Structure 1
Amino acid sequence: MDLPRIFTIRESSHPIHNPFTAGKLAALGEALHLEPGTRMLDLASGSGEMLCRWARDYLVTGTGVDISSVFTEQARRRAVELGVADRVSFVHSDAAGFVAAKPVDLAACLGATWIGGGVAGTVELLSKSLGPGGLMLIGEPYWRQEVPDDDVAKACGARGKDDFLVLPELIERFGDLGFDVVEMVLADQDSWDRYQAAQWFNLRRWLDDNPDDELAAEVRAELDTEPTRYTRYQREHLGWGVFALMRR
């Protein structure tokens, strides 16, 4: 049970494994008006930056769950670095199906709604851990503009154009699921650039250091194609945001 090596190589320098900068993460924390002692569950928590920063800045407590052993260890080290290891913990486990032992005030899944088979299933999963009046955070891609066909959608990393909705339709979808959207912080193209372009640097540095590794050919092929694919298709068409929800 772990992420493929290529993923951890690609994002080895990333404190945040989504197209979200530290500034965007700070803006989200401020927008939520988090109270000291807020209990949080973060599914697919990655390297733990959100939970650790908010434990430091807003005195939240909580648990992060992630399938990557590499990222889970990074999260534990980050908790020590920020002096919050007594307030947060990180579990190496598959977040799909994970339910908190006690209801939490804030349940989150940013950029990994595949753990519930999509938005609806992830909302349902997080609902099982969320206490009355609690906040839910969903981080999810959306189309910045209608994509013309499935080929363009696939070039953006989707399986097809129906994988994602345009922003107004995504907002409506949350309503259909019985939740009000009470806040949102959206990535911009600079956020995407910092997320994607940093991957190319990570890949190149790794390739220089590991030319004979069994993954070297795969990494070389990705470096040959990804910058063009991203700038030609994904940068213009794909958005991403974090949406704060409350049950109606």
Structure 2
Amino acid sequence: MTLTDPPRLSRLTFHGPLSETRAAGLVDRLVRNGPATILDIGCGWGELTLRLLEAQPTATAVGVDLNAEDLARGRRNAEARGLADRADFVEGNAAELPGAAADLVLCLGAAQALTDNAPPHTADALRVLRGLVAPGGRVLLGEGFWERPPTADELAAMWPGASAEEHHDLATLAELAEEAGFRVEWIETANRDEWEEFESRYQSDVEVWLAAHHDHPEAAGTRERVRRHRSSWLRGYRGVLGLAYLTLVPVD
């Protein structure tokens, strides 16, 4: 990448609506059980997993994702923080994961990677997750849900092909987790501030770049991409789509 190319997600700490305060609370709760092995599905650059490793010095982690650029960022961060020998970032398909069940499984906004079925995929993904967690372990599921039923205009403004059947409400999400063989230890949801910080950080580096490079060869396409995403958020899913963080305990 040259100095004048559009940046990519450089101002994001987490790839989702997750505040520092909530992340610290999640880490504190998830390490109480003393996990020795951590599996992060759709890990991106694995920031939450790296923080878990810092809090649990004897643990090792494997992060799986398809995005090579994000994985490289995760490896750089692990190296800089002295965690490279305990964090393995693997490029691959989460649906083809080998190996033994992990003590702690993270699946944050990546449940669709665990099934080839069309949305809603949550029930199928939960059954896969039940087989990936060791007895007495934990799953942290970050999954979208409808805060309220979306209108036709809101759906039309969202991502291509968005439908009301794509997500469940929060109560149904918890019930599906129970049906898959879990007890729901903890339920929390991203708040408006977390969403707005995430969405702003998601595009802010590119917005600043566009202000300084309005005549760059890539500027027109980048402006259109930014416009589409902002419209999808502000006209579509803002206040409609929620994100739940469910801490799940497998039933013996």
TM-score relative to the length of structure 1? 0.85
Q: Distance in 1 between matches of 2:227 and 2:35?
A: 47
Q: Distance in 1 between matches of 2:135 and 2:35?
A: 16
Q: Distance in 1 between matches of 2:140 and 2:7?
A: 27
Shift, 1:244, TM fit: 1.2
Q: What CA deviation, in whole Å up to 9, does each residue of 1:133-156 have, x standing for no partner?
A: 22112110111122233x423434
Q: Tell me the residue number matched to 1:244.
A: 247
**Which one of the candidate residues 80, 94, 112 is aligned to 1:114?**
112
Q: Tell me the residue number matched to 1:126.
A: 129
Stretches of structure 2 lacking an aligned partner (at least 5 in a row)? 1-5, 116-120
Q: Distance in 2 between matches of 1:49 and 1:160?
A: 31
Shift, 1:89, TM fit: 1.3
Amino acid in the other structure paired with 1:63: V
**Other structure's SS at 2:94 match:** coil
**Other structure's SS at 2:95 match:** coil
Shift, 1:174, TM fit: 1.2
Shift, 1:191, TM fit: 0.8
Q: Tell me the residue number matched to 1:65.
A: 64
**Which one of the candidate residues 120, 142, 147 is aligned to 2:145?**
142
CA contact (8 A) 2:150 2:164 kept: yes
| Cα RMSD, aligned residues only | 2.3
CA contact (8 A) 2:36 2:103 kept: yes
Instruction: Tell me whether 1:76 sits opposite 2:79 in the alignment.
Output: no
Is the deviation greater in 201-210 or in 89-98? Answer: 201-210
CA contact (8 A) 2:154 2:235 kept: no
Stretches of structure 1 lacking an aligned partner (at least 5 in a row)? 1-7
**Other structure's SS at 1:27 match:** helix
Q: Tell me the residue number matched to 2:217.
A: 212
**Other structure's SS at 2:234 match:** helix
Change (3 A) 1:197 1:225: same
Shift, 1:179, TM fit: 1.5
Instruction: Tell me whether 1:180 sits opposite 2:173 in the alignment.
Output: no
Q: Distance in 2 between matches of 1:17 and 1:192?
A: 11
Q: Tell me the residue number matched to 1:89.
A: 88
**Which one of the candidate residues 196, 200, 224 is aligned to 1:197?**
200
CA contact (8 A) 2:33 2:137 kept: no
Is the deviation greater in 173-182 or in 123-132? Answer: 123-132
Change (3 A) 1:35 1:247: closer
Shift, 1:239, TM fit: 0.7
**Other structure's SS at 2:106 match:** strand
Shift, 1:32, TM fit: 2.6
Change (3 A) 1:202 1:96: farther
Q: Distance in 2 between matches of 1:77 and 1:16?
A: 15
**Which one of the candidate residues 152, 155, 164 is aligned to 2:154?**
152
Q: Distance in 1 between matches of 2:35 and 2:189?
A: 26
Q: Distance in 2 between matches of 1:97 and 1:84?
A: 25
Q: Distance in 1 between matches of 2:17 and 2:194?
A: 5
User: Across the two proteins, how many residue pairs are aligned to each other?
Assistant: 237
Q: Distance in 2 between matches of 1:104 and 1:234?
A: 34
